[in-house]
Structure 1
Amino acid sequence: MRIAIANDMFMAVEALRRILVKVPDYQLAWVAYDGAEAVSKCAADTPDLILMDVLMPSMDGVEATRRIMSQSPCAIVMVTASVNHYTAKVFEAMGYGALDAINIPVFGDDGLLNKIATIAQLVGKSSHRRSLSLPPLIVMGASTGGPQALTTILSQFPQDFRAAVVIVQHIDAQFVQGFAAWLNEQIPLPVQLAIADAIPQPGKILVADTNDHLVMRPNLTLRYDKQPLNFSSYRSIDVFFTSVAKNWPGKGIGVLLTGMGRDGAQGLKRLRQEGWQTIAQDRKTCVVYGMPKVAVELGSAVEVLPVEAIASACIKFSPNSKLPG
C-alpha cells in the first residue's frame, strides 16, 4: 500500500514515517509540506492513502482535500494534534471526501496502524494482512457454570502458552472486572478486560467487558456494538463467534461451554465452516447442558469433550507449548 504524508512539521513527518516502516507492505509514496504541494504531487502520483495535516501554510488540509477529491481522488485521513480541538475543520474535510481523522501519534502507533489497516480493506490493498504472523486464536463462550469450567481449562495452560484467548461469559457488566480479577488469581496467564480497539495477543486472555456485543473488526481489533438488538442474550456469543469467523484470517479453536439456551451454537457452526477446530463441552461435565447440546445437534462441534480434556486439545494448536508438569 502506497501512503503519502502531507504535513508542514518535520517532527510529525518523521513520526509518521517511522510508524509506516514497521509494516513491510506500506511504502512511503511522497511527502508534501503544504496543501498546495500535496495537490500537485497527488495529481502527478496518486497514492492509495494520504495522511493529511489539517493546518498547513499556503493551503490547509481541508482545501487540499477538496481539490484532491475533485481532481485525483484517493483515500485521505486527516491528521491533527487534536481532533477534538479542530472538529469543525475535520468534519468540513470529511464533507469533501476525507474518510476519517486521528490525532498525531505521540507514544503509541496502534491506533494509526489499525485505522490504516481498515482503510486498506476498503480500498482493496490489504494483502499485508495475510503476511502478518498471527497467533493461534482460541475463542470461548460460556454461561451458567462457565466460571468454574473456564478455570478448569485455563489453569492447565502453561506460562509459555502462545495462543491468544478471548472469552465471552454471560455475566452482567458490573461483575466483569471482579470476574477477571478472580480468574487472574486462579490461572498462570494474565487476564485482561477486552477494551475497545484491543488486539488478541499471544499468551494473554481477554474477557468481554460491557453488556454490548463484543465483535472483531476486519482490522482484527475488538469493539462493542449494541446491534443486533434481536438477540435474546446480551453480550452474544453467536455475534462474537460469527465476527471472528468472518474477519480472522488465520485458523483457531472455538469452544462452547456449559450454559442455558442456544447462544453460541450457530456461531460455533460458522467457525467450523471456516475450517476451525470446534469443541463443545460434554453433557456429563456441564452444569447445564443447553448451549453445547444445541451445538451438537446442529453439527457445530468437531469434538465433544469433558471439560478436563479441553485444555490439552487447545494446546495442540499452540506452537512451543506443552501441558504443565
Structure 2
Amino acid sequence: MAVKVLVVDDSGFFRRRVSEILSADSNIQVVGTATNGREAIDQALALKPDVITMDYEMPMMDGITAVRHIMQRCPTPVLMFSSLTHEGARVTLDALDAGAVDFLPKNFEDISRNPEKVKQLLCEKVHTIARSNRRYSGLPSVAPAPAPAAAPAPAHAPATSSAPTRPAPATPRPTAAAPAHAPTSSAAPKRKPYKLLAIGTSTGGPVALQRVLTQLPANFPAPIVLIQHMPAAFTKAFAERLDKLCRISVKEAEDGDQLRPGLALLAPGGKQMMVDGRGTVKILPGDERLNYRPCVDITFGSASKAYGDKVLAVVLTGMGADGREGARLLKQSGSQVWAQDEASCVIYGMPMAIVKANLADAVYSLDDIGRHLVEACV
C-alpha cells in the first residue's frame, strides 16, 4: 500500500516540486497540500496521511505550532524542512522537541542541480519515517530529574531551568518482540571505572540524547563523546541547547579538546571525531567516501584502540547500521555495549544492528538508560 503524504509549505513552487518528486515514486501518494499551519491541521484530520512534510515559516500559523497541534489531535510522523543556518538549526530542534520525527535541509539549489539525489533522499526519508514508532501525542518533558544531594547544579545550568514542556505520550504502536538472544534484564549494571562514555545515534537522536543526558549529575565521572548524524550547520546549535538543558557541560568538539569528567563533546557535523589514549580529541575532515559524517564506527573504533576495556558505548535510535563495526571492535577489547530497545526507538535500525550481531551487553528502554548510566559509573 502506498504511503500517503500531506505536503505543507507556503511556497507554491516548493509544494509543487516536493509533490512531483514524491509522486514519481509509485509507492508514495500525495493526498493533499496545505499553505499554512492551520490548513495543515485541518488536512491532517480530514485526510489522515501516513507522513506530513512541513515547512517552518508560514503565514497564519508556523510549522512548530502546527506540529504541536497535530501531535495532540492526530499523531502523525512529520518530516520538517529546514534552512542550513544557525537559526534554522534552532528552529528544527524546536520542531523535533514538538514531535517531528526527522528533518531535511531546504535547499532550492540542490533540487535544481541534483534532482535525482534529492528525490532518492526525500523518498527514502518518507518511507523510513512512515515505518517509525512515532504515532503518538508528543514526547514527555526532558526537564532534568532532581540531582543527587552530592551533585549540585553548575553555574551554567540553574536549578530552575527546564526544557520546553511537551504533551504526555500516548501508548506507542506495538512492536515485535526482541530476539531471544537480546539481553533485556532491568537489573542494575555492574559498576566499573570507565574512562569514556561514547553514545552514537541518528534519526530521533536529538530528543533521545536530551532524555538521556538530562538524567546525568554534574559530577558524572566519565568523559563523554556524542556522535549524532547531523549537518555541519546544526551541531553547534544542538550542543548549545544540550548545555542549557543538562547539568553536565556540553560543547561542539574542536580539534585538541581534552576529555574530562562532566563534559560531553559533540562531534561536529561534516567531520570525523577520534580520541587518543592521552585524552585528546582529534577532528578530521569528513571523507566523502563515507556515508556518515560524523561516523559512529570511526569514533567507537578509535575509543577501542585508546581505552581498551574501559569504554561504555551506547547506541540509540537511528536508521542504518552505523556503530555496529565500531561496537565489534569495542567488544573485542573487552568494553561494554548497550542498545536502546525497539519499543522506545523512533527508528529501530542502529540498535537492531547491534542486537542482531550479538554485540549488546544490555538492551534498555530510553527512559531507563540515563539511570543505568549513573548506576554503572557514579
TM score, norm. by length of structure 2: 0.47
Task: Report the Cα offset of residue 228 of structure 1.
Answer: 5.4
Aligned to 1:181: 240
Other-structure match for 2:285: 226
Report the CA distance between 1:264 and its aligned residue.
0.7
List alignment gaps of at least 5 residues for structure 1.
1-133
Q: Which residue of 2 aligns with 1:204?
A: 263
**1:98-152 Cα shifts (integer Å, max 9, x gaps):** xxxxxxxxxxxxxxxxxxxxxxxxxxxxxxxxxxxx8631000010000111111
1:180 Cα deviation after fit: 0.7
Say yes or no: does 1:294 pair with 2:353. yes
Show the 5 A alignment for 1:119-268: 136-226=195-285, 229-249=288-308, 251-268=310-327
Aligned partner (choices 363, 373, 376) of residue 304 of structure 1: 363
Cα–Cα, structure 1 residues 223 and 198, in superposed 2: closer, same or farther, change >3 Å?
A: same
Does structure 1 retain, via aligned residues, the 8 Å contact 2:318–2:350?
yes
Query: 1:252 and 1:314 mapped to 2: Cα distance?
Result: 12
Residues 140 and 256 in structure 1, CA contact (< 8 A), matched pair in contact too: yes
Equivalent-residue separation in structure 2 for 1:146 and 1:227 (angstroms): 20
Q: 1:272 to 1:316 in 2, by over 3 A?
A: farther
* AA aligned opposite 1:206: L
SS in structure 1 at match of 2:199:
strand
Residue-pair matches, total: 186
CA distance in 2, matches of 1:298, 1:249: 20
State the AA in 1 paired with 2:318. Answer: G
Residues 229 and 269 in structure 2, CA contact (< 8 A), matched pair in contact too: no
Q: CA deviation at 1:279?
A: 0.4
Aligned partners of 2:232 and 2:268 also within 8 Å: yes
Distance in 1 of aligned mates of 2:316 and 2:306: 23
Shift of 1:249: 4.9
SS of 2:304's equivalent in the other structure is: helix
Hey, what's the Cα distance between the residues in 2 that align with 1:246 and 1:167? 17
Q: Which runs of 4+ in 1 moved over 6 A?
A: none
Give distance in 1, aligned partners of 2:375 and 2:196. Answer: 12
Measure the CA separation in 1 of the matches of 2:308 and 2:317.
28
Letter in 1 for 2:276: R
Q: Residue 229 of structure 1: CA displacement?
A: 4.8
Quote how far apart the aligned CAs of 1:227 are: 6.5
Alignment map for 1:21-170 (pairs within 5 Å): 136-170=195-229
Question: Residues 277-320 of structure 1: CA distance to partner in whole angstroms, max 9, x if unpaired?
Answer: 210111000000011111111112111111111112212332xx
Q: How far apart are the structure 2 equivalents of 1:252 and 1:217?
A: 12
Query: Which letter does structure 2 place at the counterpart of 1:166?
Result: V
CA-based RMSD of the aligned residues comes to: 1.8
Q: 1:160-196: per-residue Cα shift (whole Å, max 9, x none)?
A: 2111111011111111111011112221111112110
